Structure 1
Amino acid sequence: MQKYENTVSSASVLSLMESAATLSLISESDYTLDKQNFINTEGRSNEQILIDLWQFIDQTTPIKGYGLILGSYINPAFRGLLASLISQCETIKESLDNYIKHLDWVSSSEHWEMRSYDNLVELHFSIDPNKGYPDALIEKNLSSLVHWARKLSRQDVQLVAAQFTFAEPAYVDMYPDTFGGNISFSAPSNMITFNKDILERKVVSFNPYLKSLLESRLAETKKRYKEESNIKVINKESVENLILDLLPLKKANIDEVCHHLFVSRQTLYRHLQKENTSFKEILNQVRKRQSAKLLANTDISILEVSETLGYTEVSSFYTAFNKWYDLSVSQFRKQLIHSKV
């Protein structure tokens, strides 16, 4: 099975963003991401974008049990390839099998395992503990699975039991509506248990033709995708490299860098803050370093150096250079020439 390490489907970012705003968990103006970067159902995004969005919701929303609320909400406009595929399967079992089979396309950090015992089925869920997702993601995913099964079959789904690895929350009274009465916390694994006959229920939206088309499309998309082609790490080095590329184009600004990294200003700020730096500081360091290299080549005029560094006015370059080196540009070049003699 192909893995897509450190990436998620762009549709999953858009779905969480839109669902959280629709349910008033956050205001869209509070967390600014350009939706246009995530509307491609066949695209992928840096997983850290999704993690940051989950953490932002967790830290800012005043609504208790928001993971359960997200899980019970099925976005009618959700455009994910996998969500579309499971809606066209013949039975709940086929939907689950396809979901587990292709989950790596949604997120390589999430894992489901189905186990059968006599007349019971256990569905175990785990998430990479090192990624920083809140417990609400576990609530949302287990809850979502139950509500999807109800929607697909248009029948109630009663669980035999449910268990969670985290401690019992203060809003535990919200759990029975989705998970029934047999619920435990601080358990060895996240799991829901139900009767096996639920797997044989028919999916009311089953369409063999659409199912075949979506299976082919998803398989082709996964095969075509090359992770390294459009996913960049968000750190000081990646910002420096982008600035170097954008400087001659006079586009080395924070908005352009965020666009290339598919992140919001807030996300970029948080990542650079972890490295005790900022976009402005990195831009100045790159310009300072590059100015010395460019001025060492006396065949390049000062005006050309200024333009290569992205300055619209050469006077701005003179001022910045004097501040960096406590020398004028001409003095710096004279020193370089004398040192070569």
Structure 2
Amino acid sequence: MACNPFIRAISLTGFDPFARRQGLEPNRMLRQACLHVASLQRPEDILSFRNYCRLLTLCRQRSNNALFGLEFGLHQGVDVFGDMFFLIHNTRTVGDALRELRANFALYNGAAHLYLELVDDIALLGYRADEQEIDGLAQAEELACGVGLRLMQTLAGKPWQPEAIMLRHAPLADEGLYRQALNITPTFSAAHSGLLFNASVLAQPLDCASEALHQLIAEHLAGIERLSTDAMPGYVRQLLRNLLPSGRATIDRVADCMAVTPRSLQRHLAEENTSFQQLLDETRQQLVRKYLQVPTISLPQVAHLLGYADVSTFSRAFHRWFGVSVLEWCRQSGVNRQPLLLRNRVKERP
């Protein structure tokens, strides 16, 4: 699965206001990139990195701003790290903060690597995606450099500037525009994408360091699953929960959201000893137990939330799953829904 990496939706931090300032309609751009609009409010969601790059490409084209990715990264700054920023900001030194970030980067980004290399008195904070043939990757790498610059200025002080900003691609716009945005002209067509700076800054102490707070946040982050290509069923379940109410929870739609073909998705799920239909049934069974606990949700509404066109189709599926009718299941489970369910059933009679 290395060819299908994922990132957390926290990567969309600040997208709504920034896109609007670029003259774009954020929700429309997300939908065109096959990204779920609700992910703007759910930073823990999992997105396809390929579709995220597609979003940056579409935004660049529609805004006519060749530096959309770079400026978006500068806009996001340290906010894009969420709770992880408080973890790294409570280490002892700038170097400790960067090493902590490198060690935990896979919590939020499984598609790329953050690395810190030292050669004599020069340090390189670099960013490299696993896949190199992705449309929009240049936008993503410039975004990462923008975030990296803001991170270093937060850790080392606002006046801090790198000795060089390196980008692996050719300029996407006039070099003067880069200098205007970064106060430095990047080195293009370089071997790496990242920031080059004097290694002495790594020893600089952080004023806000708190070992107790660092430990508390570390324990919190330890409960977050690292993005792994072995967790494909979990990604599918999440997408199904997002897509079921719209009635679009098909294998074609899910595969599109994950930037894979339906056949490839089925093959990878088979390697995990499951299938799309099995995950769809399991997700619906999990959700229906929750929905039926809420008396104010009518039976037609439950059917709709699970992606069924009508109550009768839902009822047949429910009987197949649990071996009893919805009303009988509610009685057995001690859920007091019978009057409401009966009213719904009467309404459906011709």
Please give the alpha-carbon distance, in whole angstroms, between the structure 2 residues aligned to 1:82 and 1:5: 24
Gap change, CA 1:105 and 1:259, over 3 Å in 2 = farther
- Which aligned pairs between 1:219-258 and structure 2 lie closer than 5 A? 219-222=222-225, 227-232=231-236, 255-257=246-248
Please give the alpha-carbon distance, in whole angstroms, between the structure 2 residues aligned to 1:112 and 1:26: 30
User: Which residue of the partner structure matches residue 195 of structure 1?
Assistant: 198
SS in 1 for 2:76: coil
**Alpha carbons 1:125, 1:190 under 8 Å: kept:** yes
2:65 counterpart letter in structure 1: I
User: Which residue of the partner structure matches residue 132 of structure 2?
Assistant: 129
Deviates more, 1:38-47 or 1:207-216: 38-47
Please give the alpha-carbon distance, in whole angstroms, between the structure 2 residues aligned to 1:177 and 1:93: 28
1:61 corresponds, among 43, 59, 63, to 63
Gap change, CA 1:21 and 1:76, over 3 Å in 2 = farther
Gap change, CA 1:74 and 1:153, over 3 Å in 2 = farther
- What count of residue pairs does the alignment treat as equivalent? 262
Q: Deviations over 1:22-67 (max 9, x none)?
A: 5436322433565544544544344444233223223322223222
SS in 1 for 2:247: helix
User: Which residue of the partner structure matches residue 6 of structure 2?
Assistant: 7
Please give the alpha-carbon distance, in whole angstroms, between the structure 1 residues aligned to 2:160 and 2:3: 32
> What RMSD over aligned residues (CA atoms) do the two structures have, in Å?
4.4
Looking at CA atoms only, which structure, 1 or 2, has the larger radius of gyration?
Answer: 1
**Alpha carbons 2:77, 2:150 under 8 Å: kept:** no
Please give the alpha-carbon distance, in whole angstroms, between the structure 2 residues aligned to 1:259 and 1:205: 49
Q: Deviations over 1:255-307 (max 9, x none)?
A: 233599998xxx76x989xxxxxxxxxxxxxxxxxxxxxxxxxxxxxxxxxxx
Deviation at 1:195, TM superposition (A): 0.8
User: Which residue of the partner structure matches residue 18 of structure 1?
Assistant: 16
Gap change, CA 1:181 and 1:61, over 3 Å in 2 = closer
Deviation at 1:194, TM superposition (A): 0.5
User: Which residue of the partner structure matches residue 160 of structure 1?
Assistant: 163
SS in 2 for 1:121: strand
Please give the alpha-carbon distance, in whole angstroms, between the structure 1 residues aligned to 2:118 and 2:6: 31
- Which aligned pairs between 1:174-185 and structure 2 lie closer than 5 A? 174-176=177-179, 181=184, 183-185=186-188
Gap change, CA 1:77 and 1:158, over 3 Å in 2 = closer
SS in 2 for 1:183: coil
**Alpha carbons 2:126, 2:192 under 8 Å: kept:** yes
Please give the alpha-carbon distance, in whole angstroms, between the structure 2 residues aligned to 1:259 and 1:11: 25
* TM-score normalised by the chain length of structure 2: 0.60
User: Which residue of the partner structure matches residue 27 of structure 1?
Assistant: 25
**Alpha carbons 1:122, 1:192 under 8 Å: kept:** yes
SS in 2 for 1:220: coil
**Alpha carbons 1:90, 1:202 under 8 Å: kept:** yes
Please give the alpha-carbon distance, in whole angstroms, between the structure 2 residues aligned to 1:132 and 1:178: 23
SS in 2 for 1:184: coil
**Alpha carbons 1:121, 1:193 under 8 Å: kept:** yes
Deviation at 1:141, TM superposition (A): 0.7
**Alpha carbons 2:94, 2:155 under 8 Å: kept:** yes
User: Which residue of the partner structure matches residue 336 of structure 1?
Assistant: none
Please give the alpha-carbon distance, in whole angstroms, between the structure 1 residues aligned to 2:311 and 2:212: 61
**Alpha carbons 2:107, 2:224 under 8 Å: kept:** no
Gap change, CA 1:166 and 1:231, over 3 Å in 2 = same
Gap change, CA 1:203 and 1:195, over 3 Å in 2 = same
**Alpha carbons 1:8, 1:107 under 8 Å: kept:** yes
Q: Deviations over 1:187-206 (max 9, x none)?
A: 22223211112212333443
**Alpha carbons 2:73, 2:145 under 8 Å: kept:** yes
Deviation at 1:107, TM superposition (A): 1.7
User: Which residue of the partner structure matches residue 143 of structure 1?
Assistant: 146
Deviation at 1:163, TM superposition (A): 2.1
Gap change, CA 1:139 and 1:188, over 3 Å in 2 = same
User: Which residue of the partner structure matches residue 90 of structure 1?
Assistant: 92
Gap change, CA 1:75 and 1:164, over 3 Å in 2 = closer
Aligned sequence identity (%): 14
Deviation at 1:18, TM superposition (A): 3.2
**Alpha carbons 1:68, 1:140 under 8 Å: kept:** yes
User: Which residue of the partner structure matches residue 105 of structure 1?
Assistant: 107
Gap change, CA 1:171 and 1:131, over 3 Å in 2 = same
Deviates more, 1:204-213 or 1:115-124: 204-213
